Chain A
Amino acid sequence: LIAVAQKSLLHGGARRADRLFSWLCLGSGLLVLVVLGLILLSTGNEAMPAFRDEGVGFLTSKVWNPAAGQFGALAFIYGTLVASAIALVIAVPISFGLALFITEIAPKKLRTPVVYIMDLLAAVPSVVYGLWGIAVFGREIAKVYDDVSRTFDGIPVLGNVLHGANGRSFMTAGIILAIMITPIVTSISREVFATVPRDQKEAAWGLGATRFEMIRGAILPYSRNGLVGAVMLGLGRAMGETIAVALVIGSVPSIRASLFESGDAMAAVVANQFGEATGTHRAALIGLGVVLFVMTVIVNVLARKVAGRTDRRLGGKA
């Protein structure tokens, strides 16, 4: 069979095979769009009863009370955004530092093992992070929260934000998410740093720059857009993360300033409540999925835009 295929390719079939291949590629490309569209269509359709019942209230109300048929997603949207924001605040500096270390500072011997370990970190299943978060990390970190909240007690704003001492909280979820997105952000920023042309760096060296000045003057300006793309992809992952967040965020839908108290997030509540949900409750959970889907698409489109701009610039200069 292979021989026949090869023969047809060699004798006159080459053009046909070319055309077939291009159709195949186009088909695959379109398929992604179609699948995306169908997902949005079918989930939107399933969520209709909830959207119809709640209207705009689905996005603006913070009351989620399945027993009384009230479904407001605001507390979950808030939780998702807060936990993701904490994750970014922690993960982004670490990831950039790590990526710079790997590309610019680390001796060659160290580079491979560090990259290898980062990749391993990305391969750990999220439920493992969740269980570790709830059984080990959450318990220990609660003591730290307690100390911190005592220290800042009574100080306006900080006293409110750093209040409470709950191991299952926005903060714990944010920290766990930070650990989970660090490998992705690191790996992409590493690629971005690696694209900085050598002559730029050498020019900086030639001007007598220190290593830090070289990084600041040559690498960072050149990579800025690529780094924004890396952060956006990390954000997308953090927002969509389900089971780890479901385990550690505390699952009490609430909008409050305090980071050391329980909250809830969109993907987490879907995982938690779907099994027992019926009727409008089920529709509302699917509706949360739709809202999250739209939010993630927006983040991804933004990331693509930024990354695309970097690509063009890099392409032009290379």
Chain B
Amino acid sequence: MRRTRIPVLALTAFSMLGLLAACGGGDDASDSTSKGSTNDAKLASATLNASGATFPQPFYEQVIASFADKHSGVTINYGGGGSGKGRTDLQTGVVDFAGSDGLVKAEDVAKYKGAFLYFPTVAAPITVSYHVEGVDSLQLSPETIAKIFQREIKTWNDKAIAADNPGAKLPATAIVVAHRSDGSGTTENFTKFLKAAAPTVWKLDAGSTVNWPADTQAGNGNSGVAQIVKDSNGAIGYVDFSDAKATGLRWAKVKNKAGKFVDATLDGASAALAGVEIKPDLSYNPLWAEGDAAYPITAPTWILAYTNQGDKAKGEALKAFLTYIYGDGQELAAEVNYAKLPDTLKDKAVAQVDQLVIPG
């Protein structure tokens, strides 16, 4: 027994050395390639736990993975679970930061353990995806979308749809409306858009769950809605950009505030961000934005974190992570189908990173 133990120990020691060497190499690489403004002096090892919005989760996972390549001492876990869960977890201090597609309601601010900051990270279009045999391109105005999702328009050759698509041949196929079965920031943003853009037509109000008409279908998650749209001829549903793309759906051009029909693209989303008013706390509303090229159903998302970071190692890791998001992270966004922030907003966000108070 004793004899075999020695080689094992030696092996372990060697592999540890190897790991250490690898870590060192990684850090060197980050020093030379990082564009971030922080001094990339070696970060103390820290684990950041986070939960919240699932809408930006693929982007965060991507950024976390490439951040981890550069800072092997820092582990970041982003758990998803929904914006509401993220905000509650931040209130109770279960997580170090939260992802949220929506802002904190005024009456909830007091529930947090101190002041917190909004860090806008990326944005993405929400598509109005459809599946109608014989229809390859479609244009919809907010009023028509509102009527379709309220089941006031029930066939594809309805005159309201025809009016949005002059000269198009529309079949008499029955419309199948697909929406989310789970409470969702995507639903909240989609219904907020309808409330803002078609205030006289839209009667279901806005929220993470609304009272959809009974003769509609519901799917779990963006992928669930995408699947319903894909499976049923005549279907229409709101699906985030990356899932719509991944499922191979067609989506409609949507009429924006300037009266132009705009395709759902990352550029359209960035254009929507460029034209919006940014509040001092970096909250902003890119839905129904001004501008000819702005895609009107563009969803924002934020990282929420406490201004006063209690722990030095965690605070510095968070700071480095946010800086990374505004540096290399922005370039990664398009790869996973998210729109990067326009420079005006990004510069403000970078400045806000310095507001994090980290104990010395």
Contact = CB atoms under 8 A, between A and B. Distances in A.
Q: Do A and B bind each other?
A: yes
Given A67-B207, A277-B84, A278-B88, 13 more contacts: A63-B211, A66-B208, A251-B181, A252-B218, A262-B214, A272-B182, A273-B183, A274-B82, A275-B84, A276-B183, A279-B105, A279-B107, A281-B209
Contact of B217 (A262, A279, A281): A262
A223 interface: no
B207 A66 contact: yes
8 contacts: A64-B211, A139-B231, A251-B220, A252-B214, A252-B216, A252-B217, A272-B183, A282-B84
B204 interface: yes
Contacts of A65: 205, 210-211
Interface string A153-178: 00000000000001010000000000
Given A67-B204, A67-B205, A272 B214 contact: no
B182 A273 contact: yes
A250 B209 contact: no
Interface string A47-82: 000000000000000011111101000000000000
B315 interface: no
Nearest to A250: B218
A281 B207 CA distance: 11
A277 B206 CA distance: 13
A148 to B, nearest CB: 19
A124 to B, nearest CB: 19
A312 to B, nearest CB: 46
B309 to A, nearest CB: 25
Nearest to A168: B217
Contacts of A282: 84
Contacts of A307: none
B39 to A, nearest CB: 38
A246 interface: yes
Interface string B68-102: 00000000000001111101100000000000000
Nearest to B204: A67
Give chain B's interface secondary structure class: loop
Interface in A236-259: 246-247, 250-254, 256
Contacts of B211: 63-65, 67-68, 70
Contacts of B210: 65-67
Contacts of A274: 82, 84-85, 183
A173 to B, nearest CB: 13
Contact of B214 (A66, A256, A275): A256
Contacts of B83: 275-276
Contacts of B129: none
Interface in A262-299: 262, 272-279, 281-282
B108 interface: yes
Contact of B205 (A68, A139, A262): A68
Interface residues of B, number: 33
Contacts of A166: 217
A166 B178 CA distance: 13
Contact of A254 (B84, B206, B214): B214
Contacts of B191: 67
Contacts of A275: 81-85, 182-183
Interface in B184-236: 184-185, 188, 191, 204-212, 214-218, 220, 231
Contacts of B182: 251, 272-273, 275-276
A253 B184 CA distance: 16
A276 B181 contact: no
A168 B185 CA distance: 23
Contacts of B216: 252, 262
Contacts of B85: 274-276
B153 to A, nearest CB: 18
Interface string B288-300: 0000000000000
Contact of B209 (A168, A262, A276): A276
Nearest to B183: A276
Contacts of B185: 276
Interface in A68-110: 68, 70
A279 B109 CA distance: 12
Contacts of A251: 181-182, 218, 220
A64 B185 CA distance: 18
Nearest to A135: B227
Contacts of A63: 211
A256 B216 CA distance: 13
B105 A67 contact: no
Contacts of B209: 66-67, 273, 276-277, 281
Interface string B246-278: 000000000000000000000000000000000
Contacts of A261: 214-215
Contacts of A281: 183, 208-209
A261 B181 CA distance: 15
Contacts of B81: 275
A278 B217 contact: no
B67 to A, nearest CB: 25
In order of increasing CB-CB distance, the 3 nearest A-B pairs are: A275-B82, A251-B181, A67-B207
Nearest to B218: A251
